[in-house]
Structure 1
Amino acid sequence: MRTFCVTGFGKKLKKHNDLLKIESKEDDNDEAKNLLVSPLDFDAVIVSGEHDITTGAIRLLLKNEIDLMILDHFGNPAGYILPCGKSKLIERHETQSRISSSKALCIAKAMCIASMINKISLLRSIQKNTGVDIETHIERIRKMTVQAESCLEINSLQGFECFSTNEYYSALMKIIPAEFNFTGRNRNPPMDPFNSLLGYGYGILYSKIRSAIVKAGLSPYYGVFHASYKNQEALVYDLIEEFRQPIVDRVVLTLIARKQVSSDDFNVTNEGCFFKNNFKKKYAGIILTRLEQEYTYENEKKTFSEIIEAQADILASAILETGKYSPFIYR
């Protein structure tokens, strides 16, 4: 699932014959002032920043069954435009909404434990590479995975998720350089560079997860683990938990370790921490590249985008049929 990302400010997206044309302002530093791309080369477009798009361009995307996703400046999803075949709500949504509490608990438990294991995997890698002792945090999360196995209610699982997340970020506070001013997770708006990196990366990942869920024939609004998230796309929040560390967090921490990002790439104000335009484009490209990297999944090489779609299909089978949900665990 290839994605085309438009960042910065002042671009115009329009239809040119059967191609999508992206025009930039004369004073734009973007190397490609007028870019022509074929809709056959991708299946999703993400637009972040202030841009114009014509109805002709929108029709071209819809004709080619391409999702259009709009993000705000921090990477939060603002909305989607989907082809009719994807956006008509899923005749199976009634079955999805009537999922039994026992089945929901089973799926939620698998998701929660996988998320914890992926946190542990990343923290162990960090500890090995940096020599910083974060074993106490790792062990606390490990114990929570054991306790989560015996949970009888989703509310209890959510408590373990919260505790493990707090331990995870407490460990990262010992790793992240002081220049990033990271003192814990914050959002809407992010107040420091590290949280800005996470938030924007999660926004791109969220869009991918949502598309995969809809493609699998599920409504994003009926969650199992985060079902209490009323009027939000709870199922997206469910599935994204397995992929935060493998896709976004690993990229961010690698950039920091290799000194490929610094606090100079951001403008920090009382209203939040904002990317400088050139770096936002670069970072979006890095996240999209990560999504197209291959990983051994079910004994064969697949890109992470393909793995996300496969996991959405497995989730659909578990929710709507009798399949067992096997979560994604990064080894």
Structure 2
Amino acid sequence: MLNALYITRQESYLHKERETIVIKNGDEKLGQFPAINIGSITCFGQVSVSPFLMGYCAEQGIGLSFYTEYGRFLARVQGRQAGNVLLRRVQYRWADKEDKSVAIARLIVAAKIANSRSVVLRELRNHGENVGLSKASDKLATNLRRVKNAQTVAEAMGMEGDAAASYFSVFNELIREPHFNFSGRIRRPPTDPVNALLSFVYSLITQECISALQGVGLDPYVGFLHQDRPGRASLALDLLEEFRAPWADRFVLTLINRRQVQLKDFKQEASGAYRLKDDARKTFLVAYQERKQTEIMHPYLQEQIPIGLLPHSQAMLLARHIRGDTEFYTPYLLK
């Protein structure tokens, strides 16, 4: 797993100088890094990138993404599609077949529900009995039993939505910092600091999933759980479901409960949306990169891997299943 560059200083300019990436602001050189050590570049706000560097990133598989100054995803530079076209042809055929799609969708939804329940149960173990959390855990267990009987993707998606409602109904119980309050998941726009953090980290991990799927030769825009929609990376969103609770949600809870981010780190726009301020966004990104380096034991591969490689490991397992190398897709489960 290579290094990631996060460019947050406004009016910065990136260009290629021999085999290095140079970052400048006006006449001031902010940094120069060997390109061989860089895995991705994420730009926030008014950041310019030379066409030659864009082309180089595309050729070398270096992820290059652009966000607004406040963290809303805009675009990414994409090079040639990797992998065998035969794999993608099978993917497209499966996506058009209800039985193939629902078989994978059930597993993804089951993993999401199980991982959400694991987060709730961990809170109960660490902080004692809580009626609301216990009821939510029971509801999630019921959803988990029901999802294996889903006959269509729509049924599986409905069960996922029901489970998510139960989980987020008690999410505020997981927040130990009294100044933060969460009353429900609100996406566009996020109208409180907790939702702003969740949306930001979900967006970052989604881009990791897109890169991982492209890396194994799958099309990130044709999914099995999420339906096709112009511009939506449906398969990447499928993969994201497995990581929401164990990676994204726990990361946000850690930032809040350890007071690494505070209410003063946010500003509210005229639209009502909450966004991280510049310095706080840097704190967030540093902590996110550190979290990606944390090693875990993959429950299926039985190998120690950094959390940041989870999208790649799951994309690889999904590609193996679609190729016919394995009978089932094995989603990621929190242990």
Determine what percentage of the aligned residue pairs are the same residue: 24
Q: Residues 156 and 73 from structure 1, CA distance in 2 versus in 1: closer, same or farther, beyond 3 angstroms?
A: farther
Matches of 1:40 and 1:164, distance apart in 2: 43
**CA distance in structure 2 between the aligned counterparts of 1:330 and 1:235, rounded to whole angstroms:** 21
Runs (4+) of structure 1 moved beyond 6 Å? none
Using the alignment, how far apart are the partners of 2:157 and 2:290 within structure 1?
Answer: 32
Q: Equivalent residue for 1:233?
A: 233
In structure 2, relative to structure 1, the CA distance for the partners of 1:160 and 1:229 (3 Å cut) is: farther
Partner of 2:162 in structure 1? 163
Q: CA offset at residue 178 of structure 1?
A: 5.0
Structure 1 unaligned blocks of 5 or more = 27-31
Superposition deviation, residue 144 in structure 1:
0.4
Distance 1:33 1:246, change over 3 A: farther
TM-score, normalised via structure 2 length: 0.90
Question: Who is 1:309 aligned against?
Answer: 312
Tell me the residue number matched to 2:207: 207
Q: Once structures 1 and 2 are overlaid, which stretch shifts more, 104-113 or 312-321?
A: 312-321
Aligned residues: 325
1:261 matched residue in structure 2: 261
User: Which residue does the alignment assign to 1:190?
Assistant: 190
Per-residue deviation, residues 72-115 of structure 1 (Å, max 9, x unmatched): 345343222123354x9945433211113222111111100000
CA RMSD of aligned residues (A): 2.2
- Partner residue, 1:29: none
Q: Is the 8 A contact 1:23 1:34 kept in 2?
A: yes
Give the TM-score normalised by the residue count of structure 1. Answer: 0.91
| Local SS of the residue matching 1:78 | strand
Residue number in structure 1 paired with 2:33: 37
Q: Deviations over 1:108-135 (max 9, x none)?
A: 1110000001101111222333446111
Distance 2:188 2:68 in 1: 10
Deviation at 1:171, TM superposition (A): 0.7
The structure 1 residue matched to 2:118, chosen from 105, 121, 132, is 121
Q: Quick check: 1:93 aligned with 2:88? A: yes
Shift, 1:33, TM fit: 5.8
Letter in 1 for 2:105: A
Q: 1:214 to 1:67 in 2, by over 3 A?
A: same
Counterpart Cα distance in 1 of 2:129 and 2:25: 45
Change (3 A) 1:92 1:163: same
Q: In structure 1, what is the equivalent of residue 276 of structure 2?
A: 275
Local SS of the residue matching 1:213 = helix
2:8 maps to 1:7: yes
User: Which structure exhibits the higher relative contact order, with contacts defined as CA atoms closer than 8 Å and separated by 6 or more residues?
Assistant: 1
Residue of 84, 100, 105 corresponding to 2:80 = 84
Kept in 2, the 8 Å contact 1:75–1:201? The answer is no
1:321 maps to amino acid: G
Q: What's the CA shift for 1:228? A: 4.8
Could you tell which deviates more after superposition, 252-261 or 89-98?
89-98
Q: Show the counterpart of 2:141.
A: 142
Rounded Cα–Cα distance in structure 1 between residues aligned with 2:238 and 2:157: 11
